Amino acid sequence: MSNKVIYAIYNDDDVLMDAVKKTRAAHYHIEDVFTPFPVHGLDKAMGLAPTRLAICAFIYGLCGISFATWMMNYIMIQDWPQDIGGKPSFSYIENMPSFVPIMFEETVFFAAHLMVITFYMRSRLWPFKEAENPDVRTTDDHFLMEVAVNDNEEELVSFFKSTGAVEVNVIDKN
């Protein structure tokens, strides 16, 4: 069985939003939507689950502050507690104010970088990755909705024509 999909192409984000809502109401499964810029509310209309990236970042931040605390405690208090300019190095808490800038920066550093890397991994982005545009115009001024075809090609094409698509293509995807 061939793997056919429909590419419904729109040239306006409002029309696209309406089409997405209609497609969902008609219970056709949207494989993907390609847009040249973020369309506000599109994820909600498509019914996508909210991102958990912020939760990751929070946990990475906790890792960062733990790392900084462990590192400064080990270096400055445990390993070689020197008297440097009269700063009390008897315990971590006594000298903590001078470690706070590092603790803060490490927290931000871990949270930011690990979150970005998580984003790249989860969205499969890397330098020599092959681009996945179904249609080059989607990076400029067109919007494309991809819907799987299950023996209902005629029905789907006429449906997407009715949603205001400027072009409806049936593509054989292998």
CB of 6 to another protein, least distance (A): 32
CB 15, CB 171: distance < 8 Å: no
CB of 97 to another protein, least distance (A): 5
Considering the rule CB under 8 A, would residue 38 count as an interface residue with another protein? no
Considering the rule CB under 8 A, would residue 98 count as an interface residue with another protein? yes
Report residue 90: phi and psi, to 5°. Answer: -80, -35
Give dist(CA 142, CA 139) in Å, integer.
Answer: 7
Binding-site string for another protein from residue 49 to residue 88, where x marks contact by CB under 8 A and - marks none: -----x---x---------------------------x--
Taking the least distance from each CB to another protein, the nearer of 84 and 166 is 84
- The number of residues in the chain equals 174
Give dist(CA 63, CA 70) in Å, integer.
Answer: 10
CB of 124 to another protein, least distance (A): 26
* Residue selected from 38, 47, 97, 127 as contacting another protein according to rule CB under 8 A: 97
Taking the least distance from each CB to another protein, the nearer of 84 and 117 is 84
Own/partner long-range contacts of 130-139 (Cβ < 8 Å, ≥24 apart): 133/34, 134/7, 134/34, 134/171, 135/7, 135/9, 135/34, 137/9, 138/34, 138/35, 138/36, 139/36
Considering the rule CB under 8 A, would residue 127 count as an interface residue with another protein? no
| Residues making contact with another protein (CB under 8 A) | 54, 58, 86, 97-98, 100
